[in-house]
Amino acid sequence: MLSVADAEEALSALNYIDPKALSQDEWLKATMAAKAAGVAQDDWDAWCWGDPRRYDESENRKRWESIDPAKPGGVTAKTLFSMAKERGWRPCGSTRAATAPSTTAPTTPPRTIPERYPRLRLPDMAHIDAPSLTEAAKADPAEQLRRYMQALHSPDSSVAVVLESRPNERRPDKPSPQGSGEPFRVGDLIDHPERALEKADEEAGAWVTVNEVDPEGFRERGRKADVAASYRYALIEADAAEDGRPLAYEEQVRMAGRLALPAVVAVWSGAKSLHLVCRVDADGPEQYRQRVEYLMGVCRANGFHVDAANKDPLRLTRLPGAMRRGQRQALVWANPQGRTFGDWERFVDEHAAEEEPEGERVRRAREALNIHRAYDYTGERTPPPPPVLIEGLMYTGRKALITGPAKSHKSMETIRLALALATGGEWWGHRCKRSKVLYVNVEIESSEFENRVEAVRKSMGIMPEDYLDTLEFSHIMGKNPPDESEAFVVDSLCSTLEDAYGPGDYDTLIIDPIYKVNRGEEDHANVAALLGRLDRHRVIMNCSIVYVHHTAKGGGAGKSIYEQGRGSGDWGGDADLMVGITELGQLREGTAGWERAQALGIADPTDCAYQIQFGTRSFRDPPRVRAFKTWPLFTRDETGALGGLLQRGDPRAKGGEVTGAKAQDRRRRRDEAVTAAVKMCGVDGVKPTKENVYERLSIDGEDRPSPESFKRWTSGAGGLTHWRNRQDEDGEWVLSECYRASDGRALYKDSKPQFLPDETGDQRGSDG
C-alpha cells in the first residue's frame, strides 16, 4: 500500500515532466507509470492539461480506467521516477530520498499549467450564499425546462434530447446515455415540455445538447460534431477539488462566482455536479475549440478542477425538470442577459497576476526541448536494448507491417507468424519469443479462417496443445461495436479491446487486414490518424502490433520495401519491421524453376514465383528469400532455381511484356548459337575452348559479338547462356553445359555454376 508521502513523491515526479515535450509513447508510459505510482486521476488529469492541444477529450478518462497496475508485465512506478530523473528531478522527502545523489540539490518541479492560462487575483466570495437546491427542485418541472430553453435558444432552433440509458460497466451507479437521442424543436419544448419529460428515464435521468443541432444532419448521422448548428455555449462542470476531495455544491457555486464565469444557466445534475452552460460565442468549430480550451485552462489554473472532457459542441448536459433516482435535475438559475465571453476575457485581463520572470521562461523552454548529454547514455552507461520479439527482426512493443498483392499468401504467412509466436517457434529462420497472441480476423469467413489455421499448423508440425493458452482469434467481419450502427473502425476496435483486456493480457495483436478498419481514404491524414491510434493502443496495452495490408497495383519492382503499401507513404515510415511479399516474373517451360515447381505439385507453374523481403528499423536487414507459392505455405527456393527472375513490373523490362519477351528471345537465340558452336567444335575434332567456340559462333540476324562480350556471355551468374568454363580431364579449360535457371541462364548455387554431369557422371570443376 502506497503511503501519502509516496503518492506525493510520485506527483512531484510527474509534475516535473512537461507533457508538451513528450512523444505519444512517452506520454502514455508516463500515464501508466503515474497510476502504478499512486497518482490520483484528478492530479494526472491536471498534468495532462499542461498540453491541452493534445488532450483527447473522448479517450483520456477511458484510458486511465483501463490501466490495471496489478497486471503482470505492465509499466511500473520505476518508469515514472526514471523519466523524471532524466529531466533533472530529484526525490524530495520520501524514503526514496536516501538513494538520491547527495550532491544534487532538490529542484522545484515546473508548473504544469501553460503560461497562456493566467493565474488571477480573485476576490473572496465566501460571503455569497448559493441558491437553495431544495427550492430549485420544488419548482414546476415543465416551467424549469421552459425557462432553460428560453434562456439559451431561439424557438425555431433544434436541440437533441436523450431520454434512454444503458448500463455503465465501470460505474454501475451512473447509467450512460443510450444512442444519439432525437431532435426536438425548441419552440415545441417551450410549448409542450411534457413531451420530453414524460419519456425521461426516472432512474438515469435525461440529457440535452448544450448547442443547437441541424435536425436533418442529425437524423442522418446522429450526434456527430459536424451536425452542430451553433457554437455559442460550453459545458463547465467540476465536482472535485484539486486534491481529489469532493467539492460541495456551495463551493462549486462560489468558484464559478470568483471566476465570474459567463454562465447563462446552471443545472443541478441530481447527484453531485453543478452544470454551468457558459457563453463562448464562437463563430465556428476552430474558434470554439480555442475558446473552450482557454475557458477550461483558466479555470484549472485557478483551482476550479473542471471536467476536461466537456469540449464537444454537442456535449450532453442534464435536462432540467427530469427525475434521476428520486432527485430532480433542477434549474438553479437562468440569466440570459448575463456576462458575455468578451466581458469575461476583460475580467481575466484585469485580474491577471504578474507574469513569471524571464529567467523562468528560459528554464522552462530548455526543459521542454528534453535535451540529454550523449555521455550519459553511451559507453558503459548505454542502456540495455529491449527484449526481442522476433530474433534479428523486431523488439517487443513495436509494430510490424506485412504487405503483399491479392492472393499472395499474406494471411497464411501471418497465421504462420502467429503460431510461431504462440509456440516460441521460427518464422523464416528467425526464432520468436513465446507470446500470448490475439489475432483479429477482419476479412475471412470464420470457418475458412479456422481451417486455414489447421492447415498451417499441420504444415508446421506443431500440436494444438503447444498453443493452448497463447493463441486466440476474434472474427469481426461485418460485426458492429457496442452502440454503433457501423462496422468496427480502428478507434472502436482499440477502445473495445481496451475495455475487454488490461495491459499485458496479450503480448501481440494481429489485425488482418488493416484497411478493413480504416475510417476513410488511404491518404496521409487518415492513415496518420489510424497509425497514431495504434501507437496509443500498443503503449496502453503494453503489446506489439502486426498488421497486414495490400500492395499497390503494378508489382513491386522499382519500389523499396517501404514504398509498397497501398495508399499513403506513412505505412512504410511507421512500421519497425516491414515484410514485403512480391511477385516475380513468369516461369517458362524447360527451366529449372518450372521443373522444380512441377516437382512440388504446382499445377500451373507460370505464376508461382515470389520474393519475401524484410526491412527492419533496429537490425541489419536479412537476405531476401525467393520461394514457390505452394499450399498452405511458401516453399523456400533452396536450389536457386528462381535466381534469374526479376520482380513483376521491373523497369528494366521497359515496354512491358512485349519488350521482356523480345529480350528473352534474344537470349535464347544467343544461347542456341553458342550451343551450335560447341557442337561444331566436336565435329571439327577440337576441344570447345572459348577461343574455338568463338571462331565458330554465328547468330542469325546479329553480328558476331566482340571477344569481351562473348566472355561475359559465358561467365558469372548474369551471363546470357547456360555454358561456363571448367577444367577437363587434361586440365584444359573448356565450355561445359550447366543446368538452366528460370530465365535460361546458367544455374548458380553458392556462387558456383551447377554443371551437368559429363558422360562419366563427373560434375567437378568450377567457373575458371
For residues 103 and 162, membership in a common domain is answered with: no
Question: 526 pLDDT exceeds 90?
Answer: no
Residue 673 lies in a domain: yes
The pLDDT assigned to 101 comes to 32
Cα-based distances in Å from 417 to 122, 427, 428, 429, 609: 62, 6, 9, 11, 21
pLDDT per residue as tens digits for the range 739-761: 888 778 888 887 788 888 865 44
For residues 374 and 422, membership in a common domain is answered with: no
Residue 19 lies in a domain: yes
Mean pLDDT of 169-174: 67
Question: 724 pLDDT exceeds 80?
Answer: yes
| Interatomic CA distance for residues 46 and 32, integer angstroms | 15
Final residue before a domain boundary, out of 551, 581, 611: 581
Residue 613 lies in a domain: no
Per DSSP bridges, beta strands 323-324 and 327-328 are: antiparallel
For residues 93 and 146, membership in a common domain is answered with: no
Q: Tell me the three state secondary structure of residue 621.
A: coil
Question: 580 pLDDT exceeds 80?
Answer: yes
Question: 104 pLDDT exceeds 60?
Answer: no
* Three cell numbers, residue 85: 530523473
The pLDDT assigned to 329 comes to 94
* Three cell numbers, residue 527: 492513415
pLDDT per residue as tens digits for the range 455-507: 999 999 999 999 999 999 999 876 555 444 457 888 888 988 988 898 889 99
Mark out the alpha helices in 483-523 (DSSP H runs).
490-500
Per DSSP bridges, beta strands 316-318 and 426-427 are: unpaired
Residue 619 lies in a domain: no
Sorting pLDDT into bands at 50, 70 and 90, what band is 373? confident
The CA radius of gyration of the chain, in Å to the nearest whole number, is: 36
For residues 137 and 271, membership in a common domain is answered with: yes
Bond preceding residue 632 cis, omega within 30 of 0: yes
CB atoms within 10 A of CB 439: 26
For residues 328 and 399, membership in a common domain is answered with: no
Find, among 333, 328, 355, the residue nearest to 129 by Cα.
333
Question: 655 pLDDT exceeds 50?
Answer: no
Final residue before a domain boundary, out of 524, 548, 581: 581
Q: Tell me the three state secondary structure of residue 266.
A: strand
For residues 149 and 292, membership in a common domain is answered with: yes
For residues 90 and 146, membership in a common domain is answered with: no
Final residue before a domain boundary, out of 581, 605, 624: 581
For residues 275 and 413, membership in a common domain is answered with: no
For residues 257 and 231, membership in a common domain is answered with: yes
The pLDDT assigned to 97 comes to 33
β-bridge mates for residue 440, sequence order:
474, 511
For residues 296 and 377, membership in a common domain is answered with: no
Q: Identity (one letter) of the amino acid at 152? A: L
For residues 31 and 141, membership in a common domain is answered with: no
Residue 611 lies in a domain: no
Per DSSP bridges, beta strands 430-431 and 176-177 are: unpaired
Residue 601 lies in a domain: no
Q: Identity (one letter) of the amino acid at 424? A: G
The dihedral through the CA atoms of 535, 541, 546, 548 has a sign that is negative
Mean pLDDT of 705-733: 87
The four Cα atoms 726, 729, 730, 732 give a dihedral, to 10 degrees, of: -10
The pLDDT assigned to 98 comes to 31
CATH number at residue 278: 3.90.920
CA atoms in the 13 A half-sphere facing the CB of 134:
0
Find, among 621, 625, 590, 618, the residue nearest to 606 by Cα.
590
Mean pLDDT of 73-98: 69
Report whether 702 contacts 628 (CB < 8 A): no
CB atoms within 10 A of CB 314: 22
Sorting pLDDT into bands at 50, 70 and 90, what band is 660? low
* Strands ordered across the beta sheet of 316-318: 182-185, 158-162, 207-209, 316-318
Residue 639 lies in a domain: no
| Interatomic CA distance for residues 119 and 113, integer angstroms | 9
| Interatomic CA distance for residues 329 and 322, integer angstroms | 5
Question: Which carries the bigger pLDDT value, residue 312 or residue 162?
Answer: 162
Per DSSP bridges, beta strands 577-583 and 609-616 are: antiparallel
Instruction: Tell me which DSSP letter residue 567 carries.
Output: S
Specify the range with the lowest mean pLDDT, choosing from 158-172, 374-388, 655-669: 655-669
Residue span of the structural domain in which 426 resides: 394-581
For residues 532 and 418, membership in a common domain is answered with: yes
Name the pTM for this structure. 0.47
Question: What are residue 659's phi and psi, to 5 degrees?
Answer: -65, -40
Mean pLDDT of the chain: 83
Terminal alpha carbon distance of the chain: 77
Report whether 259 contacts 299 (CB < 8 A): yes
Distance of CA 167 to the CA centre of its chain: 29
Q: How many domains does the chain have?
A: 4
Question: 426 pLDDT exceeds 90?
Answer: yes
| Interatomic CA distance for residues 670 and 743, integer angstroms | 13
Question: Which carries the bigger pLDDT value, residue 75 or residue 448?
Answer: 448
Residue 182 lies in a domain: yes
- Output the CA angle 273-278-280, nearest 5 degrees: 145
| Interatomic CA distance for residues 389 and 396, integer angstroms | 5
